[in-house]
Amino acid sequence: MPNRRSVYFVSDRTGITAEALGNSLLTQFDTFEFKKTTIPFVDSMELADRAVAQINATAQSDQNRPIVISSIVDEAISARIRECNARVLDFFQVFISPLEQEFGMKSAHAAGRSHGLRNSQEYFSRIEAINFTLAHDDGQSTKELSRAQVILVGVSRCGKTPTSLYLGLQCGIRCANFPLTPDDFERGALPQSLMPHRDKLFGLTIAPDRLAAIRNERRPNSQYSSPEQCRDEVLAAERLMEASNIQMLNTSTRSIEELATTILLQRGLDRHIF
Amino acid sequence: MPNRRSVYFVSDRTGITAEALGNSLLTQFDTFEFKKTTIPFVDSMELADRAVAQINATAQSDQNRPIVISSIVDEAISARIRECNARVLDFFQVFISPLEQEFGMKSAHAAGRSHGLRNSQEYFSRIEAINFTLAHDDGQSTKELSRAQVILVGVSRCGKTPTSLYLGLQCGIRCANFPLTPDDFERGALPQSLMPHRDKLFGLTIAPDRLAAIRNERRPNSQYSSPEQCRDEVLAAERLMEASNIQMLNTSTRSIEELATTILLQRGLDRHIF
């Protein structure tokens, strides 16, 4: 396999940013098959030596040298990593100098400031958003809907729960979600408990065949997952949301990240990235 | 305020990677106050023009030119953004050439491959991990514990739920969590339903005063949040976990990302980053 390449993500902290950056670059080379390994928490020369040994061993066994995408704040540790037998791209080292130049000052060069525990207030507000989102999943509670920053509505399994959890966990947004059911369609009206919060509603919809596929994973060959039921529910939900002037987003071809980003953008909410 | 700078994260997709990268760099300049704005989905020349106009207006009203951290795959759109009156760092454009050189080929230069919907199988397995984690939060269900990849245990409010959700949502890991309660401490034994899954248990612990602070946010001035109760529970839980040979991690000074990364590392689990 000539197009197989080993990739290491090396970081002095979690490696999450290095992975995100690296993956967004590697997806551009889709004829390759990448074997990815993350080496996090490389914050001493000893751990750097160990990472270099691991990478060099791979370089010896592979036909090609590995790629290393790294994010190391400490210059000595970064220099040690760059000595390995690999193509090393350290985004921190590449970008920090132009920023130092722009700001007219040296950077703190202190590790652990990203994806670390910055302060208690930030932690508490993140936890609060997660708890709020969990307590208000799938219409479980309506007590505190007035504290929601956004309330997602849509048919069962259209993507409300994953999107809500993402908004809570990754953006610190208090997001409730509430199902629209055949009962609501028969009455031709939104659930009563949502009426005081109409300005916070945001609709999710989905292609009926995709909904059927998703429901079928959960309850195979049921009425619930039948193409007819899915089509009827989606049509009725879209009609109800249109009549209620609720902004709608189709989840069929969008990732959770794209859904969350679009909702924040359209609602003018700030993402507090963690 | 001379140390106030405007920062724009500009992306042809969600902007999540640009934000993560930018924030990890900006935290190194802590004497500055940054006003951050994300402009996602800039995937046409028209939207590029609009972003440039917004950035240039800020450049005029600010004392200093803005910083732009961008991730734009299309070369023409990226070139247009770089013409604005700001210090522009486009990580995609900076890193893609060395990778093209290394791989001996041009990249696809196709947007939307990261944080997008790659394929249905990936989507389903992510959703399955989220559903599993939700269904097995706080010991709610023990039916499918054998399918868990890891089971977090610890006292109430030590950080099990946020860590589990992160592992499910961001890493695609089926993570259950189960509370250790005064009942267990009295019996001096792990909950019975965990016994068949001892090899999957991972302990979380916490400093008693931090636990008291967290519980106090939820139930102020209660027995549950009293310093004595917190100290007794933490001590008893640590003793029980030690006696049961359960690996332990202290959550007091670690972010959710650091906890999740450490658990994956120590368990040899792969993070499937989304």
Q: Cβ-count burial of A207 within 10 angstroms (0-12 exposed, 13-18 middle, 19+ buried)?
A: middle
Once rounded to an integer, what is the mean pLDDT over residues A188-217? 96
Whether residue A108 and residue B30 make contact (CB cut-off 8 A), yes or no, is yes
Question: Per residue in A164-192, pLDDT tens?
Answer: 999 999 999 999 999 999 999 999 999 99
**Same CATH topology for A4-103 and A120-267?**
yes
Residue A231 has pLDDT above 70, yes or no: yes
Region of residue B20 (left: phi > 0; alpha: psi -120 to 50; beta: else): alpha
From first CA to last CA, the distance across chain B in angstroms is 38
Q: A92 touching B, CB under 8 A?
A: yes
CB distance B98–A89 less than 8 Å?
yes
Report the C-alpha gap between B110 and B90 in whole angstroms.
Answer: 16
Report pLDDT for A3.
85
Local confidence band at A120 (pLDDT 50, 70, 90 cut-offs): confident
pLDDT tens per residue across span A39-98: 999 999 999 999 999 999 999 999 899 999 999 999 999 999 999 999 999 999 999 999
How do residues A136-147 score in pLDDT, each as one tens digit? 999 999 989 999
Looking at residue A114, what is its pLDDT?
Answer: 63
Predicted confidence (pLDDT) at residue A151 exceeds the cutoff of 70: yes
Name, in order, each residue with C-beta under 8 angstroms of B253's C-beta and a sequence gap of 6 or more. A117
What's chain A's length in residues?
274
pLDDT of residue A273 exceeding 80:
no
B199, exposed or middle or buried, with CB in 10 Å at 0-12, 13-18, 19+? exposed
CB contact under 8 A, B109 and A28: yes
Confidence of residue B217 (pLDDT cuts 50, 70, 90): confident
Residue A1 reports pLDDT greater than 70: no
The closest of A120, A130, A112 to A17, measured between CA atoms, is A112
Q: For the domain B4-103, what is the CATH code?
A: 3.40.50
Q: Where are the alpha helices (DSSP H) in B115-254?
A: 120-135, 160-171, 182-187, 208-218, 227-243
Percentage of chain B exceeding pLDDT 70: 95
Per-residue model confidence as pLDDT tens digits over B74-114:
999 999 999 999 999 999 999 999 999 999 999 987 665 66
Using CA atoms of A224, A227, A233, A237 in order, give the dihedral in degrees to the nearest 10: 130
Tokens read off for A53: 């040994």
Residues B37-54 have a mean pLDDT of: 97
Mean pLDDT of A104-109: 86
Lowest mean pLDDT among A186-200, A257-271, B99-113: B99-113
Q: What is the CATH number of domain A120-267?
A: 3.40.50
User: What is each CA distance from A236 to A189, A199, B197, in whole angstroms?
Assistant: 11, 21, 45
CA atoms of A177 and A162, how far apart (whole Å): 10
Extended beta strands in chain A, E state? 4-11, 33-39, 67-71, 87-90, 150-154, 175-179, 201-205, 248-250
Domain assignments of chain A as residue spans, ordered by start: 4-103, 120-267
CB-nearest partner of A255 from B24, B116, B217: B116
- CB nearest to B20's CB, from A17, A40, A265: A17
> A-contacting residues of B 21-40, CB under 8 Å?
21, 23-32, 38, 40
Q: How far is CA B35 from CA A95, A119, A235, B26, in A?
A: 19, 19, 43, 11
What's the one-letter identity of residue A140? Q
Three-class SS of residue A152?
Answer: strand
Q: What is the pLDDT of residue B252?
A: 94
Pairing of strands B4-11, B67-71: parallel
Query: Is the pLDDT higher at A109 or at B144?
Result: B144
Provide the whole-model pTM. 0.93
Query: Which residues from chain A sit within 8 angstroms of residue B40, using beta carbons?
Result: 261, 265
Reply yes or no on whether the pLDDT at A116 is more than 70.
Answer: no
pLDDT digits over B107-166, tens only? 987 665 666 666 677 888 899 999 999 999 999 999 899 999 999 999 999 999 999 999
Mean pLDDT lowest for which of A2-16, A114-128, B34-48?
Answer: A114-128
Question: Closest Cα of chain A to B188: distance in Å?
Answer: 30
The confidence score (pLDDT) of residue B272 equals 77
Is A186 in CB contact (< 8 Å) with chain B? no
Smallest CA-to-CA distance from A120 within B216, B229, B23 is with B216
Nearest to B51, CA basis, from B74, B25, B77, B32: B77
Predicted pLDDT at B111? 60
Q: How many CB atoms lie within 10 A of CB A200?
A: 18
% of chain B residues with pLDDT over 90: 86
Share of chain A above pLDDT 70, in %: 95
Rounded Cα distance between B238 and B253, Å, is 17
Work out the number of other CB atoms within 10 angstroms of the CB of residue B39: 21
Question: What pLDDT score does B270 carry?
Answer: 86
